[in-house]
Amino acid sequence: MPRNSQHSSRCWPAAQPQHQWTLLGHALDGHRRRGKCGHRCARDQAGGGHRRCLDDMSNLRFVLASASPARRSLLEAAGVTPEVHVSGVDEEGETGTPAQIALALAEQKAEAVADRLPHEPDERVVVLGCDSVLELDGFDGTAFGKPANVAQAVARWKDMRGRRGVLHTGHALVLFDQSQRRSRSELASAEVRFGHPTDTDIDAYVATGEPLRVAGAFTLDRLGGWFVEGIDGDPGTVLGVSLPLLRRMLTDLGLSVPTLWTHLGPLRP
């Protein structure tokens, strides 16, 4: 499908090699890319646990340009406490392939929040925007986001059952570092194999309201997980944030992931 907007060359470096590894017996596809600082660790024995201290980047703010509870929960579980700023970007107006739409919307969300985010001149701020779009086998590249209503969600699941699809998640970062503003955007994709829920299962699932709140009308880590047979790719891509991809993007911008760890639970031997 044609696309209305073009992106600057900063987002399109030379093609990167695909990587493969295995998880739970499945081959995992690598991420398609588009586009150091050191840290010291200290231990705090209080409460029987360990804490990493932040040093040279203690003033770094991490902002999530998304209202997604799943993305926020995933980041928090990974040690990052994000500020949440909803972008307000219209997700219905973008055209292109599902992969192009996911990446373009992620960029628009990150840029929209970055443009209006108040920050001090000497403050480091990183903004993450994400968007997920489902591409279902047999539907000629149609992009499936959130269902508009209950009837559409039911029909969607009847189309999805027994099929395979690819969940594309665009990731976009904007970094404010003193007087500089830099950005990176990349795409992660994972194949999803849907199960065969009955009509009764589908009606019950849609009645919970969950499919109406998420791209592709399904979740992996909640009720929708009962009806997903498996995935080929990074599970985080389906959940909404690919941590390995995000780590590489942050590294490209000169940020070390441990400096983002604002909270850690007790470390058990």
Active site residues: 131
- Let me know: does 9 contact 34? Beta carbons within 8 Å: no
Helix-, strand-, coil-residue percentages of the chain, each rounded to 5: 30, 25, 45
Spatial separation of the C-alpha atoms in residues 14 and 34, rounded to whole Å = 8
Q: How far is CA 20 from the centre of its chain?
A: 20
Token pair listed for 100: 């192009």
Token pair listed for 161: 């059952």
- Let me know: does 57 contact 37? Beta carbons within 8 Å: yes
Helix orientation angle between 199-207 and 150-160, rounded to the nearest 10 degrees: 140
